[in-house]
Amino acid sequence: EPEVTQTPSHQVTQMGQEVILRCVPISNHLYFYWYRQILGQKVEFLVSFYNNEISEKSEIFDDQFSVERPDGSNFTLKIRSTKLEDSAMYFCASRSPRGGYTFGSGTRLTVV
Amino acid sequence: QKEVEQDPGPLSVPEGAIVSLNCTYSNSAFQYFMWYRQYSRKGPELLMYTYSSGNKEDGRFTAQVDKSSKYISLFIRDSQPSDSATYLCASDGDDKIIFGKGTRLHILP
């Protein structure tokens, strides 16, 4: 069964450093998403991406965040200057043309 | 804006019992309703997907949507220890998924 692949599974970074989280969505999917889950809290929408541009972003997705699809397969989330409160699980998802969403296993980001 | 509300639990039930998990939602425009299962340190995994009001059954799982009361339910029959996980209700609103907080379920052997 096709999967959404995320790397790394766990990233530890120092406050103020830049991080890039990587995702390989399912190949025939057209919509891509990043979600965040702070420990003990709900899975929150960050951003959606379609046709090489952001289609919607939440108020969490401020100027410190950016997304990119640098080639035909990868979809990345960059956090420019990490803060302690950015520590969370970050999930990538892609949506099939028929509407079904598939989530990756997530990257656990720890900011120290 | 709390669009999908869910009791976080934890909910503990003995093996073999019927489990009932519930959510409410606020936006009457929501049409698609989903239940995801999430194991510790893993991504959400789609369990059930329903459109508008009605019931949908898949093996031991039944999803129910009542649009008049904005109520979403998931029933698990003959619960197993392997069903222990967090169950997230969600709705597909405005081309994205909006999740509830999730209910942590513990099936006791």
* Tens digits of residue pLDDT in B30-85: 888 999 999 987 888 989 888 888 899 999 999 999 999 999 999 999 999 999 99
**Residue among B43, B49, B96 minimizing CB distance to A48:** B96
Q: How many Cβ contacts (< 8 angstroms) between chains A and B?
A: 48
C-alpha to C-alpha distance for B13 and B36, rounded to whole angstroms: 19
**CA dihedral defined by A60, B89, A41, B46, rounded to 10 degrees?**
-80
Nearest alpha carbon to residue B9 among B77, B83, B106: B106
Token pair of A26 as six digits = 């399912």
Could you give the strand order of the β-sheet that contains B54-58, starting from the edge strand earlier in sequence?
B4-6, B19-25, B71-76, B61-66, B54-58
Residues of A in contact with B96 (CB under 8 A): 33, 45, 48, 56
- Tens digit of each residue's pLDDT (9 = 90 or more) over A39-68: 888 999 999 999 889 999 999 999 999 999
B-contacting residues of A 58-97, CB under 8 Å? 89, 91, 93
- Interface touch B99/A42, C-beta < 8 Å: yes
Measure A56 CA to nearest chain B CA, in Å.
9
**CA dihedral defined by A49, A54, A56, A62, rounded to 10 degrees?**
120
